Amino acid sequence: MTSTPQRALSFFAGGADFATLSEIVEVARAGLASDVRDFLDGGAGREVTLGRNRDAFERWAYRPRVMTGLGVPDVATSFLGIGLGLPVLTAPFGADGLFHPEGHCAVARANAAEGAVSIVPEGGSHAMEAVAAAAPVAARIAQLHPMGDPANFAAMLGRIEDAGYDAVCVTVDCPTAGWREGNRRNRFDPDPAVISGNYPAGGPVALEEVFGQLFTRTEPVWTWAQLGERMAATRLPWMAKGVLTAEAASAAVDAGASAVLVSNHGGRQLDGTPAALDQLPEIAAAVGGRAQIALDSGIRSGSDVVTALALGADAVVIGRLAAYGLAAAGEAGVRRVHQLVREEMQTILTLLGVGSVRDLGPEFLQKVQP
């Protein structure tokens, strides 16, 4: 009698519906209305910077070490005093209700399950208190925009502290909305409810008071000195999001920032800027040791995470990937994004001969000749 041999090895150990990140993106894009899909996919202007963000990762090649005797790589680290089971934060992308009704509440629950941390948006579909209640272990950083009435800004800092957040992310590259051709062509005009979770109709502060500057451009832009003075009112550490030069990174740290987020807003603000990854080495040289560094803009895989960490980032921030996961399958979709990123990272670290993400450095990379 011949027995059927059991399968001893499977190269796909996920057991979930999505085997790759690209499948998640495809399912998400297929399920979104065309204007919402363009809003998520698109960038500013002619989308030059959007393309540069991706091209930048292709200019680096790995320098692996072999026969190292190392075991399973450790992908845990910390950022702003917050432990991370995965060196990933999710971006404070607004209008999250466009992608799933539970928005950042679902993102935070997924992060809690997979060891990531949420940066919770000011312009989200759910109040920061609701997101914190949904997953207090993951909803650790709250985002603010430095604009408008300083009294409103101060009130939000108080709310952030009262809700139990551990840090603040201040978006410094968005004094006005970027010129987004696709959104204009589509006459994209979503219901204000998708960005008013923190400023509901009839509340003490009107949505227009906070975000009106993004569209009217009537208020003066805050300075680093003003931001530093206003952030001194909170006991929480803060990160400046949207830094692209060594000069800006140094100014942020001088103003009191404990971390900088190297970012061009995913190519969605000022078209024609360099790729965020290209700017990372100069910023690491300028503020490394004085502040922690995160990177967003262009992260699409576990391999991208490894490259960013090797070039000086302490963590990465994913925006579109998290939004695609949310649109594809809600909380489960975001969890699967993290699982696939972790699996790919551990594979690459093993092949590189690196035992921990904390051991990554530029010696594991070389520039690819054009």
Structure confidence by residue, pLDDT tens digits, 171-212: 999 888 888 999 999 999 999 899 999 999 888 888 887 887
* Beta-sheet pairing, 259-262 with 117-120: unpaired
- What's the predicted TM-score (pTM) here? 0.93
Task: Using alpha carbons only, give the angle 365, 88, 162 rounded to the nearest 5 degrees.
Answer: 145
Buried b (16+ CB within 10 A) or exposed e, 36-73: bbbbbbbbbbebebbebbbebbeebeeeeeeeeebeeb
User: Catalytic residue positions?
Assistant: 265
CA–CA separation, 361 vs 311, rounded Å?
Answer: 6
**Measuring CA to CA, how many Å separate 14 from each of 76, 211, 341, 344?**
20, 42, 12, 12
User: What is the share, in percent, of the chain residues with pLDDT greater than 90?
Assistant: 85
* Beta-sheet pairing, 365-367 with 60-62: antiparallel
Which has more pLDDT, 149 or 301? 301
Which pLDDT value is given to residue 175?
Answer: 87
Structure tokens at 174: 């968005």
CA–CA separation, 248 vs 279, rounded Å?
Answer: 11
CA–CA separation, 97 vs 196, rounded Å?
Answer: 10
At 284, the pLDDT band (50, 70, 90 cuts) reads: very high
At 322, the pLDDT band (50, 70, 90 cuts) reads: very high
Give the contacts of 30 (CB within 8 A, at least 6 positions apart).
none
Residues 39/188, Cβ–Cβ less than 8 Å:
yes
CA–CA separation, 272 vs 290, rounded Å?
Answer: 29
CA–CA separation, 277 vs 242, rounded Å?
Answer: 12
CA–CA separation, 162 vs 126, rounded Å?
Answer: 16
Which pLDDT value is given to residue 6?
Answer: 55
Average pLDDT value for residue range 316-332: 97
Structural domains of the chain, with CATH: 21-367 (3.20.20.70)
Structure tokens at 124: 């989200």
CA–CA separation, 11 vs 34, rounded Å?
Answer: 35
Burial group, residue 318, by CB count within 10 angstroms (0-12, 13-18, 19+): buried
What is the enclosing helix (H) or strand (E) of 250?
Answer: helix 246-254
Burial group, residue 197, by CB count within 10 angstroms (0-12, 13-18, 19+): buried
Neighbours of 83 (CB within 10 A): 12
Average pLDDT value for residue range 262-266: 97
CA–CA separation, 232 vs 214, rounded Å?
Answer: 25
Distance of CA 197 to the CA centre of its chain: 20
Which pLDDT value is given to residue 211?
Answer: 81
CA–CA separation, 116 vs 337, rounded Å?
Answer: 11
Query: Taking 60 as the threshold, does the pLDDT of residue 239 lie above it?
Result: yes
Nearest residue to 310 (alpha-carbon basis) of 261, 227, 367: 367
